[in-house]
Structure 1
Amino acid sequence: MLKNNSTTILLSLLLMILSMPVLSKTTMSQGTDTASTSSTVIPGDIETIITKPMYKNATWGLRVLNLETGKEVLNLNSDTHFFIGSVRKIFSVGELLNKVGPGHHSLTTVHKEGVIEDGNLKGNLVLVASGDLTMGGRTLPNGKIAFTPFDHNEADSLGNAILTKTNPLAGYQDLAKQIKKSGINSINGDVIIDDRLFNAFYFRNQFYVSPIFVNDDVVDVIINPGKVKEKSLVDWRPKSDAFSVVNELVTVQPNKKYTLELKPILPECIGKPNCFGLIKGDLPSNFSPPLTNSYPLIQTYRITKPANFARTVFIEALQQAGVDVSKITKVKDNPTHLLKPSHFYNEENQAASLQSPAYQEHAKFILKVSYNIGADTSLMLLGLTDGERTMAGSLAMEKKQLHDKYGITTSDYHFVDGSGGGDTTATSRVVTQWLEIMSQQKTSFDAFFNALPILAVDGSLDFVKNFKANPTLAGAAGNVYAKPGSYVVGTESGMLLKGQALAGYIHSKNNHNLVFHLVVNNIPINSLDNLLEVFQDQGEIAAILWRDQ
């Protein structure tokens, strides 16, 4: 994918914005419903912002509730369908928190087939995937999950990322050490990944996702400049025979054009010998990486065949732990045809296990950085609680649960996955209804609340800070906990912010606890300055709600 600096930064901010929408009492509805009129007057300070010329073609929605009284404080187009993007995640993550509990742990297990004679396992070793999103690769010493302001899952679209300082292979290495401790010194069989927990789903028409993960199923490419006219310094993680990187990126004279190409972004060779990706292009010696303005520059390759990759990584971890795996072909397709029926793998033949962090930690990871695959996997895990193994089945199960258990009207939303992809829509009424329902969940609300990004503090709202220049608004920082979402498309005339939303909670200056959903649809983005103005305006609107309600 060929990139230049200005385009990369613009796209990064478009996708990163995940930010706060705005509202107006004068525009028509864009959704499939007829426009519903406001039952309250939009405050003048907000009206001033949203009637700026750049918003003349936009459509706005707003609903604010007082949690203590249940009273509707503000309402604009609350029954209109809007594109909400990643705000959808508050449903999939919240529902799973309610279903399994914040303290729920998944257990990845390793099982031995056959007998052990003189330390030699005469049979296969099978790792049974549990849907653990991080597999120890983000776990800190205190059991919490590490994340950064710019997550590597979006490195290619954002133009850069900040990596965690954790070991992405920690879980696999821990399992391998347990195998060695169990008395297995060599394996006369094969190593297999059992990823049958649920049916793999096709993520946004790009690649399949299964219940096994290594480094969030990406290979991080770590780039630093070299000497002019020489190759740039390129490293990658995790290191494995499953995939390597060939470096043809050259550091060039300052102010030359920046180009960077990774081929292929979606490698199909994983599971075959000598699988690699190629990085090439020109890196000006004075280039400043997007977002961080400092090196390293991070890009990624997608692990498109996670079971194949995980198998190789696990074999390498076994070798590192001192287990003789010399009779096993390290790099090949995962031999699922050798698996026994799932019920065979039980405690009697279990040789090792890895407990995931509590789901509340995964929830925080998903919502703080807007981890799409994590939200989709959460929906799949929710479906499994009712015996559903497919994305379609999980969506149907969720729809039934939202209606039967929570009283949510089916026609108030349209969900296509668990993360808010594509034409995901909802009304402000149903979003605030869900937030109100979550606030009443005694066992899971604290975990849900603390998982949300905090305005001007962390996650995908960390950078929304311009409102702090107004002394009357500065106190909003740290008092707005909300999930942003965006839906950006390219058009012939440029980029279109088709939908942008923010949904969550405000503890107001007047000591009220509020639930709110702000949404805007249809903002043409013509320049980087335009875009910066949009999300800083949105931050100011959230702060006004904090100050005045």
Structure 2
Amino acid sequence: MSETVETASMIVRQCKRWTVITSVCLLASCGGSVNSNTTVPTSIMQIMQKPVYRNASWSMQVVDLDSGGVIYDLNSNTQMLIGSVRKLFSTGNAFNALGADHRFVTPVYRQGSVAPNGTLNGSLILVASGDLTMGGRANPDGTTAFTAFDHNEANALGNAVLTTPDPLAGYDSLAAQVAAAGITTINGDVVIDDRLFEPFNFRDQFDVRPIFVNDDLVDVTLAQSAGGAAVPFDWRPKSAAFSVQSTLTTGSATSKLAIDLNPESPTCIGAPNCVGTVSGNVPAGLVPPLTNAYPLVRTFRVTQPSNYARTVFIEALARAGVTVTAAPVEANPVQLLPAKGSYSSTQQVAQLTSATYAQDLRFVNKVSYNIGADVTLMQFGLAHNGSTTMANSLAAEQGELSATFNISPDQYHFIDGSGGGDTTANARAVIAMLRGMRTKPAFAPYFDTLPVLGVDGSLASINDFEADSTLAGAKGQVHAKTGTYVTENPAAPGTPILKGQALAGYIDAKSGRRIAFFVTVNNVPITGIPDVLKVFQDQGTIAAMLWKML
């Protein structure tokens, strides 16, 4: 992790959008001390009372999953910042509303007639369904690919591991079907119908729409080179919608790592010659963080998803032998769309069917995919009562939490589906959600979406607990959602603070008993990401201790 601890100001800039990684948080005002509770074992309290936590606050509740009996309790009524632990609620409700076996279908329709020579005199319209992956993470066995270090957090964490499936596979499949339908030329335009829900702003970065290519990212991979040489680079997906140039060079072994993306969130997508540049310096002999191996990964944000998808689809059509007369790079021509919902089945020429919803939500929870969780909330709202805005979907969820899980609105504060900003809940609300899901038909796949301690997802790298051989058996026995919230320290401008790190889920204890647990800490001073991981390791150790003692 050597170089994720850059300057304090850089960490702050990174963390302003980093409410993910393993994410979680917690907020309490206990005067800077742990409010002792005799039901919490001394061994766990000793972790909570480490010097690094002297100005921090903790909350924890542990219950028997079957009986609901409280085993340990610490500040469980206090509202805490919970970060991505919030995803337990959004994914759980979506599972219940749509079902684990639900699949999203993205159809393509023609407008106009097809001449005998294969010319479509009219437009081709792809109707976005909110399919998160559009076939771009599809493994051969039908599962959805993910890695322990997801590219959605590459810029914040300093690296990532890319998945192996072709991110354009779904668009190529749709294009091949259009060609198979006898269309050889489109004498009109290609349009993305992105009206499934109202666009919503994602953390001041861009407006999310229900169409995706590679998670709305362009991945840049940087290879190793000798001092003084240009750094070899590549990017994906390759598209005329956005290309990458680089002046990044390799400096001396004692130089500092500095990689600048300009602009990181380009606004030119939909206009010709939209280019992002990579510049800066990579020290010779650098060991990449997280992976300890090349490539280094950075990402540009696709800020106009519909414009980008339109170009990508036109390029896929060309690869399938279908000519489009319209310019491939331009703004998505929404003015050509027919009335919403007016498509006829006789006009359909292709469709892409997603993996099961269980696979989608497994991806969302395993890597803590924030945009995916926000879209999950929107999909819940649509299925629940036809809600098409973030505000209405939140209101629908509030009603569901009250009616189905007996969770009162005064126990939480949610602002989106992923846990952004000052998202709070108390321990009792989180435990009520975990226990309530146990009675639902989708519990098994819901349980399977959670990262597993020492095995996969955002818990894959947590292994410090294994230094104690008596805790080693906890590996694979803790299924839990993580959450991290890092921001600027108001008491020391320009420096970061871990406002919250949380962990919540299920433990199959050594005794055979299954428990639900929630633990979170708030207001921990840090200098960089390695400090966050130390806190995360402490919480992994607490989970392992619970496995052993219960």
Deviations 1:77-130 (A, max 9, x none): 111100100000010011000111000001000000110012110110000000
Partner of 2:511: 510
Structure 1 residues 342 and 371 mapped into 2: Cα distance closer, same or farther (>3 Å)?
Answer: same
What letter matches 1:258 in structure 2?
L
The alpha-carbon deviation at position 536 of structure 1 amounts to 2.1
**Equivalent pair of 1:20/1:542 in contact (CA under 8 Å):** no
- After superposition, what is the alpha-carbon deviation per residue over 1:223-263, rounded to whole angstroms, capped at 9, x for unaligned? 11334333211110000000000111112333222221100
Q: Please give the per-residue CA displacement for 1:196-236, whole angstroms capped at 9, x wherever unaligned.
A: 00001000122110000000000000111334333211110
In 2, the alpha carbon distance for the partners of 1:384 and 1:445 equals 21
User: Following the alignment from structure 2 to structure 1, what is the Cα–Cα distance between the partners of residues 234 and 530?
Assistant: 34
Contact 2:151 2:299 in 1 (8 A): yes
Counterpart selection for 2:466 from 440, 460, 468: 468
Q: Measure how far apart 1:4 and its partner are.
A: 6.5
Q: Give the distance between the partners of 1:225 and 1:37, measured in 2 at CA.
A: 50
Structure-1 separation of matches of 2:513 and 2:22: 25
Of 336, 341, 344, 2:342 maps to 344
Contact 1:175 1:352 in 2 (8 A): yes
Residues 283-432 of structure 1 aligned to structure 2 (within 5 Å) = 283-325=282-324, 327-385=325-383, 386-432=385-431
Residue aligned with 2:363, SS: helix
Partner of 1:188: 187
For 1:49 and 1:21, the matched residues in 2 are separated by: 17
Q: Is the 8 A contact 1:36 1:78 kept in 2?
A: no
| C-alpha distance in structure 1 between counterparts of 2:336 and 2:38, whole Å | 64
State the match for 2:22 in structure 1. Answer: 18
Task: Percent identity, please.
Answer: 49
The answer for the alignment partner of 2:69 in structure 1 is: 71
SS at match of 2:393: helix
| Deviation digits for residues 53-98 of structure 1 (CA, Å, limit 9, x no counterpart) | 2111111111111112221111111111001000000100110001
Distance 2:4 2:25 in 1: 27
Counterparts of 2:82 and 2:398 in 1: how far apart (Å)? 17
- TM-score under structure 1 length normalisation: 0.94
Cα distance between partner residues in 2 of 1:356 and 1:449: 21
Question: In the TM superposition, what whole-angstrom CA distance separates every residue of 1:167-190 from its partner, at most 9, and x where no partner exists?
Answer: 000000000000000000111110
Structure 2 distance, partners of 1:529, 1:420, is 22
Instruction: Summarize the Cα distance change of 1:428–1:349 in structure 2 as closer, same or farther, 3 Å threshold.
Output: same
Q: Which amino acid aligns with 2:463?
A: K
Q: How many Å apart are 1:289 and its aligned residue?
A: 1.3
In the alignment, the residues of structure 1 paired with residue 35 and residue 46 of structure 2 have an alpha-carbon distance, to the nearest angstrom, of 19
Which amino acid in structure 2 is aligned with residue 516 of structure 1?
F
Moved more, 382-391 or 371-380: 382-391
The separation in 1 between residues aligned to 2:114 and 2:26, in whole angstroms, is 65
Q: Secondary structure at the match of 2:476?
A: coil
Over 3 Å counting, the alpha-carbon distance change for 1:457 and 1:402 in structure 2 is: same
Once the two structures are superposed, what CA deviation does each residue of 1:148-177 show, in whole Å capped at 9, x if it has no partner? 010001111011100001100000000000
Provide the C-alpha distance between the structure 2 equivalents of 1:123 and 1:475, rounded to a whole number of angstroms: 63
Name the SS of the counterpart of 1:230 in structure 2: coil
Structure 1 stretch displaced more, 188-197 or 402-411: 402-411
The letter of the residue matching 1:162 is: V
5+ residue gaps, structure 1, are none
SS at match of 1:540: helix
The answer (yes or no) to whether the contact 2:26–2:499 under 8 Å persists in 1 is no
SS at match of 1:484: strand
Give the deviation of 1:425 after TM superposition.
0.2
DSSP-derived class of the 1:405 partner: helix
SS in 1 for 2:132: coil
Could you report, residue by residue, the CA deviation over 1:340-366 in whole angstroms, capped at 9, with x for unpaired residues?
012222312100000010000011000
- Letter paired with 1:18: T
Q: Which runs of 5+ in 2 are unaligned?
A: none
- Do 2:454 and 2:461's aligned partners in 1 also have CA atoms closer than 8 Å? yes
Q: Which amino acid aligns with 1:448?
A: Y
Which residue pairs with 2:208 in the alignment? 209
Deviation at 1:427, TM superposition (A): 0.4
Residue in 1 that maps onto 2:57: 59
Shift of 1:51: 1.4
Structure 2 residue aligned with 1:89: 87
| 8 Å CA contact 2:107, 2:127 repeated in 1 | yes
Give the paired residue count: 539
RMSD between superposed Cα atoms in Å:
2.3
TM alignment of 1:448-459, pairs within 5 A: 448-459=446-457
Pick aligned residue for 2:96 from 91, 95, 98: 98
Q: TM-score, structure 2 length as denominator? A: 0.94
Is the CA contact 1:22–1:62 (under 8 Å) kept in the aligned structure 2? no
Inter-CA distance 196–8: structure 2 relative to 1 (3 Å threshold): farther
Shift of residue 283 of structure 1?
A: 1.8
> Over residues 457-491 of structure 1, what are the superposed CA-to-partner deviations in whole Å (9 max), with x where a residue is unaligned?
11101111011111111111110000011111122
Q: In the alignment, which residue of structure 1 is the partner of 2:281?
A: 282
